[in-house]
Amino acid sequence: MSMNHSTSNFDPIQAEVVARFLLGVTEEMSAALMRTAFSPNIKERGDCSTAVFDAEGNVVALPQRVPIHLGSMVGVVEAVLAKFDRNAIRPGDMFLANDPYSGGGSHLPDINVIAPVFVEDAIVAFVACIAHHADVGGMVPGSEAAVCTSIFQEGIRVPPVRIVSEGKLNEDVFDILLLNSRTPEERAGDLRAQVAANNVGARSVQALFARLGVKKTRETMAAYLEFTERRFAAAIDRVPAGTYTACEYLDGARQGETAAIRLTLTVSPGKLVFDFDGTSPQIEAARNIPYRALIATIYTVVKSLLDADVPANSGYFRTIEVKFPRGSVVSPEAPAAVGARSMSSAVLGDAVASALSQALPEKALAPSGPHQLIVLAGTDPRTGKYFVNYETIAGAMGARAYRDGVDAVRVHASGAANLPVEALEHAYPLLVEQYALRQDSGGGGRYRGGRGVVRDYRVRADAAVLSLSSERQNVPAEGVQGGGKGALGVFILNPGTPDEKVLPSAAAEIQLCRNDLLRVCTPGGAGFGVG
């Protein structure tokens, strides 16, 4: 529902200036976070996001970084306020959360840190940052493996807690977090970087309120959200009204099984309703998609197809309604595992895009190849310290109705970069011997699907363990209107040798030895039309 703020004195130029200023604040926060973080996953891959909220918790500004974090941001302020009375929150306080089932995010490695912004004695806004921590405990290094059957295997769960009290770090909570990680030094540096980023953001937001005044700034922010809602409602009005259906399949809990994502999209004036009735029940694997990952994927795909330039704020969220059966793979209930939700969300994104493509055939998008996840861990012989290389490698976009698919790219709600080779080899006892486009992996057709990636890792430690998670290693991206299928992804150990072995699409702690070679082949996007 729209907020009941009057927009009779709405100054569109000032609102745009304020919105761009706040977007700049989020970029400033991101720069502070990435420059001060310790782990390559944040400082090199940029697996983090930042946001500014109004006093009620509506997202006002969010940069285009990792779209799946958008859902993790939605509702996080409300979760904090549901637990902590506003009158008990003081300037300099910050709160931390990561649990998908209590308002903290969409999987445990993503840690949210939220800070209120005060002017005098009143909360006028909030800033927050979310960062993917390379290890938060659990049964496997990296705290993420599709073979997990319960969230209790995925790491430490933290409901909203006060991590900073009036500017002073809560050492007790901090120590608990560090004790649960295999790489506590990284966690300490990354968490302090998040606190620093929020301090940067809070100061800049306070400067805006000091310049315009509290009343004017709040009214302008509210008016901008209403403007965004009207703009996106107009974009929906250009979509033919009607009902459209789509179905995609995740891998199931066991080899050969699948789990269906069934979608019915209803388009009416200024409104989109996504109904997932008929979707498979939640599974005993970490492929389940929690609510915040579900809405993040929908918001992202809808925005990209209907109005890519609309501001990423709560205004346009109001035009979208999502219905789902509880206890399904798109809305699991605790203690379902959810760690590998990002690859599942790529398949979900294909279902959303397929339904919208039926309504907008001139903008149609064929299914894509999602990224693949590897976690290599062990003792670094150079330092004697334990390392965890959490890494996702890009897949490829499906073809459009008017152009080829994009090669070697994150799809739908994924957004972090591939880890640069130089940074990887500097940080870990690994050697990248090949990094290339995967030839002929895109589906053929009038327009071909995008090509995935081939990346080879040589182990330079005496022993290491490997965990794997993926999608589209069993169910390919299907071509559209006669286009070809995208190639399946595959993990291969020691290719081209007598010891060559195709590894499972999901596995935990495979033992590797010095000089073993891991080849990661990410899936391709589907083609569009007959060639």
The answer to whether position 470 is within a domain reads yes
Q: DSSP string spanning 417-479? A: PPPPHHHHHHHSSEEEEEEEE-TT-S--SSBPPPP-EEEEEEE-SSEEEEEEE-SSSSSPPPP
Q: Are strands 320-323 and 271-275 parallel, antiparallel or unpaired?
A: parallel
Instruction: Decide which of 228, 261, 292 is a domain's last residue.
Output: 228
Checking if the pLDDT of 328 tops 60, the result is yes
Please write the tens of the pLDDT for every residue from 265-285. 999 999 999 999 999 999 999
Tell me what the mean pLDDT of segment 168-190 comes to: 97
3-state helix, strand, coil in the chain (%, to 5): 30, 25, 45
Residue type, 269: P
For residue 67, what pLDDT is reported? 79
Q: Rounded to whole angstroms, how far apart are CA atoms 191 and 434?
A: 33
- Is the model's pLDDT at 156 over the cut of 70? yes
CA distance 454 to 434: 7
Calpha distance 224→123 (Å, rounded): 20
**Distance from CA of residue 120 to its chain's centroid?**
35
The pLDDT confidence band at residue 142, using thresholds 50, 70 and 90, is: very high
> What are the backbone dihedrals phi and psi of residue 253, each rounded to the nearest 5 degrees, phi first?
-75, -25
Residue 339 lies in a domain: no
- Rg, Å, the chain Cα set: 23
| Percentage of residues in the chain having pLDDT higher than 70 | 98
> What is the pLDDT averaged over residues 216-240?
96
Mean pLDDT of 434-459: 98
Looking at the predicted structure, is the pLDDT value of residue 389 above 50? yes
Kindly state whether residue 405 falls inside one of the protein's structural domains.
yes
* Contacts by residues 377-385 (CB-CB < 8 Å, ≥ 24 positions apart): 377/141, 377/142, 377/182, 377/464, 377/465, 377/467, 378/429, 378/461, 378/462, 378/463, 378/464, 378/465, 378/512, 379/461, 379/462, 379/463, 380/428, 380/429, 380/461, 381/429, 381/460, 381/461, 381/462, 382/429
Flag whether pLDDT at 234 surpasses 70.
yes
Single-letter amino acid, residue 177: L
The mean pLDDT value for 383-402 works out to 97
Q: Is pLDDT at 1 greater than 90 in this prediction?
A: no
CA–CA dist 54, 307 (Å, integer)? 23
Final residue of a domain: which of 213, 228, 243? 228
pLDDT at 2: 43
Q: What is the pLDDT of residue 4?
A: 43
| Residue at 524 is within a domain | yes
Predicted confidence at residue 531, as pLDDT, reads 83
Within a domain: 4: no
437: in domain: yes
Question: What tokens were used for 452?
Answer: 């995935």
> Within this chain, do residues 78 and 224 fall inside the same structural domain, yes or no?
yes
Predicted pLDDT of residue 9: 67
Q: What is the pLDDT of the chain when averaged over all its residues?
A: 95
Cα separation, 485 vs 523, whole angstroms: 10
**Domain boundary, last residue among 228, 245, 275:** 228
Most confident of 60-69, 253-262, 397-406: 397-406
By residue range, what is the domain housing residue 46? Answer: 12-228
Residues in the chain: 531
| Residue 115: pLDDT over 80 | yes
pLDDT of residue 87: 93
For residue 7, pLDDT over 80 is answered with no
Q: Is a pLDDT exceeding 50 seen at residue 64? A: yes
In a domain, 267, yes or no: no
Q: pLDDT for 297-321, tens place per residue?
A: 999 999 999 999 999 899 999 999 9
Asked which of 62-66, 158-162, 254-258, 356-360 is least confident by mean pLDDT, the reply is 62-66
Residue 482: count other Cβ atoms within 10 Å of its Cβ.
13
The CA distance from 236 to 269, in Å, is: 7
Quick one: pLDDT at residue 3?
42
Helical (H) or strand (E) element with 378: strand 372-379
44 has pLDDT over 80: yes
Stretch 233-252: mean pLDDT, rounded? 97
pTM: 0.95
Please provide the DSSP assignment of 97-155 as one string: E--GGGTS-SSTTEEEEEEEEEETTEEEEEEEEEEE-S---SSSTTS--TT--SGGGS-
Question: Rounded to an integer, what distance in angstroms lies between the CA atom of residue 214 and that of residue 218?
Answer: 6
- Tell me if 393 is assigned to some domain: yes
Token output for 8: 């009779």
How sure is the predictor about 69, in pLDDT bands with cuts at 50, 70 and 90?
confident
Q: Count of domains in the chain? A: 2
| DSSP symbol at 409 | B
Q: Which two tokens stand for residue 464?
A: 């290491």
